[in-house]
Amino acid sequence: MKKILVGFDGSEGSEQALNRAMMLIDEYGELILLAVVPSPSEKTFVDKEIYSKLKKKAERLIADAIADIGSHDFTITGMVEQGDAAAIIIDAASRLDVDLIVLGCKGLSELGRYLIGSVANKVVQYAHKPVMVVR
């Protein structure tokens, strides 16, 4: 696989998804880590300060994951986007023309309940790209 998108939220499931993606990525391929936080306009965020903290935490999670991976023969990039997790993952996969989407299927997220079973289920149902759900 030349380009793989990994839904990453810091949960054990997303860590397992990242590990699997690293086994599948081609030499000189691109691994993209995507964290999704809810939009500040959603009712879950009455306080914009809470949203800001959550977004910074997501950015830190992605940066830490990239740092932990270190140097390899593939490129690794990170993204933090806002909105509905399943919709954002599906859109990013199409927009970035990835070969595969890799997601964890369950686990408590450090960012909240965004990349767990229900999200993986929606991505599997509606994505126009191959999806691998890692248990």
| pLDDT score recorded for residue 115 | 44
Residue 85 token pair: 């997790």
Over residues 17-29, the mean pLDDT reads 96
Residue 114 scores a pLDDT above 50:
no
Residue 73 sits in which domain range?
Answer: 3-134
pLDDT reported for residue 43? 58
pTM for the model stands at 0.88
pLDDT at 93: 98
Asked whether residue 111 carries a pLDDT value surpassing 80, the answer given is: no
* Residue 123 DSSP SS3: helix
User: Which pLDDT tens digit goes with each residue over 85-96?
Assistant: 999 999 999 999
pLDDT score of 106: 66
What was the pLDDT predicted at 95?
98
Average pLDDT score over residue span 22-36: 96
Query: Do residues 113 and 11 touch, judged by C-beta distance below 8 A?
Result: no
Q: Supply the CATH number for residue 7's domain.
A: 3.40.50.620
The kind and range of the H/E element at 100 are strand 100-104
Smallest CA-to-CA distance from 84 within 47, 110, 125, 113 is with: 113
Nearest to 77 by CA among 42, 113, 33, 17: 33
What DSSP letter does each residue of 10-55 carry, written as one string? SSHHHHHHHHHHHHHPPTT-EEEEEEEE--TTSTT-S-HHHHHHHH
Domains in the chain: how many in total? 1
Which tens digits make up the pLDDT trace of 31-86?
A: 999 999 987 776 555 577 878 888 999 999 999 999 999 989 999 999 999 999 99
